[in-house]
Structure 1
Amino acid sequence: MTVQTSQYTSLITSEHQSAPNFMAMVSLLAQWAADRQNMLASIPALYDIDSAVASQLDAVGLWVGISRKLSVPLTNVYFSLDVAGLGLDQGVIQGPFDPTTGLVSLPDAQYRILLYATIAANNWDGTVPGAYTAWNTVFQPLGYSILIQDFQNMTMGIALVGPTPDAVTLALFKGGYLNLVPAGVGVAFYFEQSVPGTPIFGLDAENSSIAGLDVGAMALIVGP
């Protein structure tokens, strides 16, 4: 709730309400106090992971334990009208300090996804159901879901299901930045749909992520 100076001036007794100089002085001092209280009350929202931007989001990253700066550049993510998957709303504009070899500093939107994934990993209980719960927390608000395939040989596959992801989100996904993997287990394949927005083809299952003949589309291997 916003603090108003009237909350202070209304407490002045009636015998002093008619003294303009006194009321002006109290109002001046009360405004200073109200401004400071309102400023302090606004700080939590500035560093809320859903609304923080730029350096504020970097401060959130310090607490979470992950930086927007990448040690390995994300390649094939820069906007281009002549390359499939890098057009409008897919590719990211190369910044003035980004190397031509790839993106090394994540934009706010994709950095927020990485932060959510790191928080989910830090709170994951190590189980497959827990992985689905954690990943759904990250991806469901964006319209995506995750499928896990256990190959029974200490490796697994992960599929991203939903609309066509932007190039940076897809690069983070297939680069392993969003992984939830048990100790000793490797990710053999990353998959996405061959037809965006369509369930992945599979037998013995029928839901929003998997569908059978005439409905499901084949999964495409996108990494590693």
Structure 2
Amino acid sequence: MLNVSDTILAQYANSPSLCTIIEGFNQAVDPGLVIDNWYDNVWNPQTATGWGLDVWGRIVGVSRVLKVTETNFFGFSQGSPDSKTFGSGVFYNGGSVTSNYILSDEAFRRLIFAKAAANIWDGSIPSLNAILMQLFGDEGNCYVADNQDMTITVTFEFTPSPVGISIIASGILPRPSGVEYSYAFTPAFIKDTDFGGDIL
């Protein structure tokens, strides 16, 4: 308690032994530090860490573990920026090689805030642009273009990391109802329809 002396009856207030025992007990059971740690590490999403962020992830509906597609296969330069050439890659056997990647606290915090924004998204392009900048603003420019034919194109003026591609593929980005969308990367390196739209 903050003012434990106010709780001692007046007839015992001048007893040094009793006051010492009460003060020592108060320091031993004072929940202030525990409450402060709980607030900083769990309750406040801006400062939460570890398990606290995992709780926030469950609240908004995202997971810290992403499946990252491995693209380090032998190929030619036009295949993708991640294809390897002679002497540095393995031949592609036609199967999809994936691995689980655990996001760091900072990356997971960005994903949580973006998902929270998507949960309350108002359906406008400026709001979708704000979500994109929340996720990828430190990597380069990314924006939504309305093609004026019931389609939109999400353009990334950089090559996302495999984790970034996995975040895009995770379905975190909201999709307007009745609107077809596609992704465009500069430079273009992948085409796939597994993301809910064409990757140009």
TM-score (ref. length: structure 1) = 0.59
Which residue number in structure 1 is paired with residue 28 of structure 2?
Answer: 32
Change (3 A) 1:113 1:123: same
- In the superposition, relative to structure 1, how do residues 137 and 74 fare at CA in structure 2: closer, same or farther (>3 Å)? closer
Match of 2:179 among 169, 185, 188: 185
When residues 176 and 150 of structure 1 are mapped into structure 2, their CA distance, relative to the original with a 3 A threshold, is: farther
CA-CA distance at 1:38 after TM superposition:
2.4
Instruction: Indicate conservation of the 8 Å contact 2:68/2:101, yes or no.
Output: no
| Bigger mean CA offset, 182-191 vs 131-140 | 131-140
Give the 3 Å change call, closer, same or farther, for CA 117–44 of structure 1 in structure 2. Answer: same
Aligned residue type for 2:148: Q
- Aligned residue-pair number: 171
Mark the CA change 1:103 to 1:185 in structure 2 (over 3 Å): closer, same or farther: farther
What RMSD, in angstroms, separates the aligned Cα atoms of the two structures?
Answer: 3.6
Q: Structure 2 vs 1, CA of residues 85 and 8 (structure 1 numbering), >3 Å: closer, same or farther? A: farther
**2:131 equivalent to 1:134:** yes
Could you list the per-position Cα deviations for residues 64-114 of structure 1 after superposition, in whole angstroms to 9, with x for gaps in the alignment? 1222345xx321279xxxxx669xxxxxxxxxxxxx932335323433232
Aligned position for 2:143: 147
Query: Percent same amino acid among aligned pairs?
Result: 21
1:74 alignment partner, one of 68, 73, 80: 68
Unaligned runs of 5+ in 2: 73-80, 84-95, 192-198
Q: What amino acid is the match of 1:167?
A: P
1:171 corresponding residue in structure 2: 166
Give CA-to-partner distance per residue, 1:118-154, whole Å, 9 cap, x none: 11111111011222233334444x3544211223333
SS at match of 1:125: coil
After superposition, the Cα gap between the structure-2 partners of 1:128 and 1:178, relative to the gap in structure 1 and judged at 3 Å, is: same
Q: Which residue of 2 aligns with 1:46?
A: 41
For the 8 Å contact 1:157–1:188, the answer to whether it is kept is yes
Q: Which runs of 5+ in 1 are unaligned?
A: 79-83, 87-99, 195-219
4+ aligned runs moved over 6 Å, structure 1: 10-18
Report if the CA contact (8 A) 1:157-1:189 is conserved: yes
In structure 2, give the amino acid aligned to 1:180.
P
Task: Say if 1:15 and 1:133 are closer, same or farther in 2 by CA, change over 3 A.
Answer: same
CA displacement at 1:185 relative to structure 2: 1.9
Distance 2:53 2:34 in 1: 18
Aligned twin of 2:90: none
Question: For residues 15-26 of structure 1, what are the structure 2 equivalents within 5 Å?
Answer: 19-26=15-22
What is the match of residue 123 of structure 1?
120
